């Protein structure tokens, strides 16, 4: 696992008082509460935490914990290039990078994603325990097991986002599935084409564009563009990735093209978004 150590960090910390920690801003951070109680503060908004809660933290310096009972934190931090650099695993990097982009674009970093189902919490806890075990024993299979388990956690977060924020719940089930497919494959151009979508969802190619516009109230091309821009907004605000890298990863020609598109759709530029936390939905 040595070759990916700089792309992922796994840490358990038992704390009675919170102190600021050094975090590379290129990291995503998952936090699982193994024991304890207290309050989490993100961007000056607070939320109580307890055993078996977990969070996805933004790239924000304004986060902290007020610990009311001794707390054992389990941290997993990884870069967006983690999956790309894995070896000896069957993970489709493009698929999971798309899923990660979807999470970045639609996850509410201020309020998080609340899991009120104990079954869901137990499921996530088991996944964190697998990663914790593999981190400690470092077997020849640990890299693969950690990567696949992390993928499972991201899948759960992604599915919960879809359920929580689906704006097309009143549409027919097939259209809801189409939207979910587009959102979770947003950087895979082949899977966003009319030809691919019509075949996958068994809709006539000639009729598909009309079907999509009737249900979404906007053309397919505009929906895809708007979704990519929403992802770009959150990546600009919650990561320190260069504008050029964000633009290329989402299919824009360059940072200037991305900037013009943001200005046209949302009335703000990349530089303004990075300096100020402007709510755009």
Q: Are residues 38 and 133 in the same domain?
A: yes
Residues 197, 200: Cα–Cα separation, whole Å:
5
The pLDDT, as a whole number, for residue 1 is: 46
Low-confidence ranges of the chain (pLDDT < 70): 1-6, 21-27, 43-44, 58-62, 87-89, 93, 108-116, 162-172, 277-281
Residue 185 lies in a domain: yes
Domain boundary among 116, 133, 165: 165
Q: What angle do CA 115, 12, 47 make, to 5 degrees?
A: 35
Are residues 247 and 189 part of one domain?
yes
CATH number at residue 191: 1.10.10.60
Residues 198 and 146 in one domain: no
Residues 29 and 154 in one domain: yes
- Give me the pLDDT at residue 40, please: 85
Whether residue 68 is found in the same domain as residue 207: no
The model carries a pTM of: 0.73
Q: Comparing C-alpha atoms, which of 161, 206, 154 is closest to residue 179?
A: 161
Q: Is residue 280 part of a domain?
A: no
Of 148, 165, 182, the residue at which a domain comes to its end is 165
CATH number at residue 16: 2.60.120.280
Please report the pLDDT score of residue 3 as a whole number.
47
The whole-angstrom separation of Cα 165 and Cα 157 is 12
Q: State how far the Cα of 57 lies from the Cα of 192, in Å rounded to an integer.
A: 29
Count of domains observed in the chain: 2
Same domain, 179 and 247: yes
Q: Give the residue numbers spanning the domain of 246.
A: 173-275
Q: Does one domain contain both 24 and 154? A: yes
Domain boundary (120, 149, 165) is at 165
Pairing of strands 27-42, 63-79: antiparallel
Residues 149, 78 within the same domain: yes
Report how far apart, in Å, the C-alpha atoms of 117 and of each of 59, 123, 207 are. Answer: 27, 10, 40
Contact 40, 67 (CB under 8 A): no
pLDDT score of 31? 87
Are 146 and 23 found together in one domain? yes
How far apart are alpha carbons 67 and 45 in whole angstroms? 16
């Amino acid at each position: 696992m040595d070759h990916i150590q700089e792309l992922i960090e796994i840490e358990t910390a038992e704390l009675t008082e919170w102190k600021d920690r050094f975090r590379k801003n290129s990291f995503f951070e998952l936090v699982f509460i193994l024991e304890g109680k207290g309050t989490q503060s993100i961007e000056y908004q607070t939320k109580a935490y307890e055993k078996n809660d977990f969070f996805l933290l933004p790239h924000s310096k304004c986060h902290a914990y007020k610990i009311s009972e001794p707390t054992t934190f389990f941290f997993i931090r990884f870069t967006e290039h983690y999956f790309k650099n894995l070896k000896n695993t069957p993970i489709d990097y493009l698929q999971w990078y798309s899923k990660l982009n979807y999470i970045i674009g639609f996850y509410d970093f201020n309020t998080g994603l609340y899991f009120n189902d104990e079954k869901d919490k137990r499921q996530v806890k088991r996944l964190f325990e697998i990663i914790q075990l593999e981190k400690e024993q470092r077997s020849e299979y640990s890299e693969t097991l950690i990567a696949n388990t992390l993928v499972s956690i991201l899948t759960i977060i992604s599915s919960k986002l879809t359920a929580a924020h689906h704006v097309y719940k009143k549409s027919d089930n097939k259209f809801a599935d189409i939207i979910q497919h587009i959102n979770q494959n947003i950087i895979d151009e082949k899977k966003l084409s009319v030809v691919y979508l019509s075949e996958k969802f068994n809709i006539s190619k000639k009729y598909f564009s009309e079907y999509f516009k009737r249900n979404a109230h906007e053309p397919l091309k505009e929906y895809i563009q708007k979704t990519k821009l929403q992802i770009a907004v959150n990546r600009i605000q919650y990561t320190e990735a260069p504008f050029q890298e964000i633009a290329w990863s989402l299919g824009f020609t360059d940072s200037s093209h991305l900037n013009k598109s943001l200005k046209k759709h949302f009335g703000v530029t990349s530089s303004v978004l990075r300096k100020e936390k402007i709510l755009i939905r």
